[in-house]
Copies of this chain bind each other. A is one copy, B any other.
Amino acid sequence: MSQPGQATTRGDLVRAAVLGLLGTRGPSSRADIARVLGVSPATVTQVTKDLMARRLVTELESVPSQGGRPARLLGLVDSAGGAIGAKVTADHVRIVSVGLDGTVHASSSVDLDATGARALDDLDEILLEAVRAHEGPLLGVGVGLPGAVDAQASGIVDAPTLGWQRLPVGPRLRQTLQVPVLLDNDVNTLAAAETLYGRGREHEDFIVVTIGRGVGLGIVQHGVVSRGAHGGAGEFGHTPVAGDGPLCGCGNRGCLEGFVGESGLLDAARAAGVVGPRGSLRTLVTAAHAGDPGALGVYADAGALLGRALAGAVHLLDPEVVVLLGEGIDEWPFWESSFDEAFRRHLMPARRGIRWIVEPWSEDQWAVGAASLVLASPFDAVSTGREGELVRARLQISGAP
């Protein structure tokens, strides 16, 4: 049962939301803020008055106006805070330090044997170092992981590929770092980033599909990342697409990932003779670029399979758009035509008009996504829970009452 509109969950939601909005959306007028946040103009006046008194916000120039009193833009005084984002993979951690507006101030990568026994200790240490190195006010740390996280504000992690089972990553990190720590599945962090800085600014309901080592999917409904009962939603890669097939990491056969994930592509390339028995994915990529028909066929088959499976996901979830991302997206031109053909063909007529969008990919994106867990918390009191409160509290330090 949902909770009715409560007055105070401690920490003043609107105040934090205004700061978060000014950070992520840039300077805005009071009236804009009221509209976007869905609060009354009166409240915005009150809150901004207070924030200006505390020197967290200033009034900028007026904008022209189109037939009424000109709007006066408000902006953050300076970087009122930053966040650290970390993406954990099997062999390293990628760390970025970002400002409220999502700009990356620092970026690094540290080796980590995430499958080892000391993995959690090492991660602890690495992140502690990052927190120490961070300059300026730190709102919190966001962590993206290749597994299921019970809740962002908790952080008990199941990650079969790392051999992690109910590992209390969140509690451990909080204890060491002494700042708010939010965790989520890596694909969900990309979805969170997308709601803040990407398609979420135009769409309330969409899905994010990642192509890379595996295939992932993040669900955004009503502007909020949908995580399922145990944080395990979006396991698109293990959609059964065939009764049989290559053995998947999950132990089953016939998973989508077994055909269109990195290893699936490689298997297909070997079977087609495009790549030798010890060849790597790079060989396949260069062959495709060279126009090798076998290589192109591998991608075409994968694209068709992905398109068919994705049609099923679209039927289930009814998103407005599909956003495609991930390390593997550079090779998208090879997937595209067969994907689109299969996708459309298997969609019901009413959905056939749905758009898919390929977003450019950069190395840092996973980690930026993780950081956006922190930066999104002013807007998401539900899933960020107590840690979100702490982040919001940190947004408002400095300045007298």
In the complex, residue of chain B having the shortest beta-carbon distance to the beta carbon of A381: B4
Q: Among B3, B7, B243, B250, point to the contact of A37 (Cβ < 8 A).
A: B3
Query: Hey, what's the 0/1 contact readout for A332-351 against B, CB within 8 Å counting as 1?
Result: 00000000000001111111
- Known contacts A231-B318, A240-B308; is-contact A6 B5 (Cβ 8 Å): yes
Q: Among B3, B7, B351, point to the contact of A38 (Cβ < 8 A).
A: B3
- Known contacts A228-B221, A308-B243, A318-B235; is-contact A350 B252 (Cβ 8 Å): no
Given contacts A3-B38, A4-B13, A240-B312, 4 further A-B contacts (CB under 8 A): A1-B21, A4-B39, A5-B9, A230-B318
Residues B37 and A252 in contact, CB atoms below 8 Å apart: no
Identical chains in the assembly: 2
Residue of A233, A347, A380 with most chain B CB atoms under a 10 A cut-off: A233
26 contacts between A and B (CB under 8 A): A1-B223, A2-B222, A2-B224, A4-B13, A4-B14, A4-B39, A4-B381, A5-B13, A6-B39, A148-B318, A148-B350, A160-B349, A160-B350, A203-B229, A205-B228, A217-B316, A221-B221, A229-B318, A235-B348, A235-B351, A240-B308, A252-B345, A252-B348, A254-B346, A312-B312, A316-B317
Which 5 A-B pairs have CB atoms at the shortest separation, nearest pair first? A228-B318, A4-B13, A3-B38, A205-B229, A235-B315
Inside 8 A of A250's CB, which chain B residues have their CB? 348-349
Q: Among B21, B233, B240, B348, point to the contact of A318 (Cβ < 8 A).
A: B233
The answer to whether the Cβ of A290 comes within 8 Å of any Cβ in the partner chain is no
The answer to whether the Cβ of A313 comes within 8 Å of any Cβ in the partner chain is yes
Chain A interface category by residue count: 35 or more
Chain A residues within CB distance 8 Å of chain B = 1-9, 13-14, 17, 21, 36-39, 148, 158, 160, 203-206, 217, 219, 221-224, 226-236, 238-240, 243, 250-252, 254, 308-309, 311-313, 315-320, 345-351, 379-382
- Known contacts A229-B318, A231-B318, A232-B318; is-contact A7 B5 (Cβ 8 Å): yes
Inside 8 A of A240's CB, which chain B residues have their CB? 308-309, 311-312, 346
Residues B349 and A223 in contact, CB atoms below 8 Å apart: no
Q: Among B13, B319, B350, point to the contact of A158 (Cβ < 8 A).
A: B350
